[in-house]
Structure 1
Amino acid sequence: MTSYERPILADSNEPPFGGASLDLESQQPSTTAALGNTDSNRSLLQQSSHPVALVFHVLFRLIAVVLYILPNIVSADFVFMFVLSVLLLAFDFWTVKNVTGRLLVGLRWWNEVREDGTNVWIFESRDPSIPVNATDSRVFWGTLYATPVVWGLLALFTLIRFNFEWLLVVIVAIVLSGANLVGYMRCDKDAKQKWSGLADQAAGAGALGGLMSGMVMNGVRGMFTRS
């Protein structure tokens, strides 16, 4: 398995899986919003740079959890609730993978299978000079880590109550949410390594340039000071 990364560019028109392209430049948070607002009277949506994306980042998975718990409290048609839960989980997976990750934290990942059968992880990341909204980042990563844990607890609850027919929903939820978690963890790690390497290269180039400049200046000075 191999991987490579591409920085997200504002004029990039190549979306993953043939989806709609998103213009990051038009979606960048303002400096004021990115620095955050410490006013406790402001809601999360007011502090967010992308409130609509923030809502949908949580909405589908929250409804899926509620629909999963609901049949255990009241009588409901199993087939209907099962299909609806799986659809919501699929919507959540696609939304988080292709939209909210890009808008909220400037990351995007996907996996391609090449003609030779090898899997390739592809990562894109926003330039670190563009700040990420602190509220968006906290909600994104918090829900990303919490979702598999919640479904794991629901799996234990299902096993204790011997509701094995609902276990398939839990398995689908853990697989999809776990895939997004692993994908974004790898994407974030890759972005940090990439931008850190570029910073080191820039620092090295600056030091070399300073050394060469000093040598040239010393040589020029020497030419004019020789007797």
Structure 2
Amino acid sequence: MAPNYPERLRNQKVVVIGGSRGIGLAVAEAFISFGSHVVVVSSTQTSLDAAITLLKSEFPSSTEYIGGRTANVKDEASVSSLIESLASEGGVDHIVYTAVDKRIRGNIVNEDIEKDKELFGVKFWGQVSVAKAIAKYKAIKSGGSYTITGGSLSLKPKPETAVGAAINGAVNSLAKGLAVDLAPLGVRVNAVIPGFVRDVHEKLTPEREALYQRLSKGLLTGSVGTTEDIAETYLYFARAKYTTGTLALVDGGAIFSSA
């Protein structure tokens, strides 16, 4: 009997932390399109409501598959409560973490260490808190996955991005370590490393269009990718049962550019 690849994600329960905008929203859309039951997690009720409204308008025949929760990824207790509640409801098949606060750029002389710590709290410690709760409450079913998110600066830093690159580098190492630590639970862990992308839901201004045209010249693909392009990688990690501890760079070949 031939394998039925399109059905691999149907009726799977997927939680997208940071799923109310950007890459996370595209990930939620992608899983819903494959018949998954998706829970979007956002830090604010306003953002969550907007995302849920959009998703239900895009997938009117799948509204019963779309839900949402709020949680503050900077607060371990909030994260733990979220994961515990998911576990008590029977657990989930996959958790995706895409939450991010802001980008760090600037001369190291002017670095605001306290603000940097806040971003580290979201992008690194937030992902650690989720992993801790997954292990504690066994929230992901055996055979499932936890996919975290880094950034391409970890592999090719640009001027005035040292701290941001370091945070993303820590995420890369975290993915490998968690793959080992969560393996006894039957949970795979991988990391998506996105480059610069265009949000398909943004309102394109002439300034942004000019930026994308300029950046496209340094890409092997010839054009800046979209959040939908990045979402494909999260689908892969959820379906690829023989893949764990892997970092997937999705940057249009920018790493090979001299720019």
Normalised-by-shorter TM-score class: 0.3 to 0.5
Greater RCO structure (CA 8 Å; 6+ sep): 1
Richer in strand (by share): 2
Richer in helix (by share): 1
Larger Rg: 1
TM-score by structure 2 length? 0.30
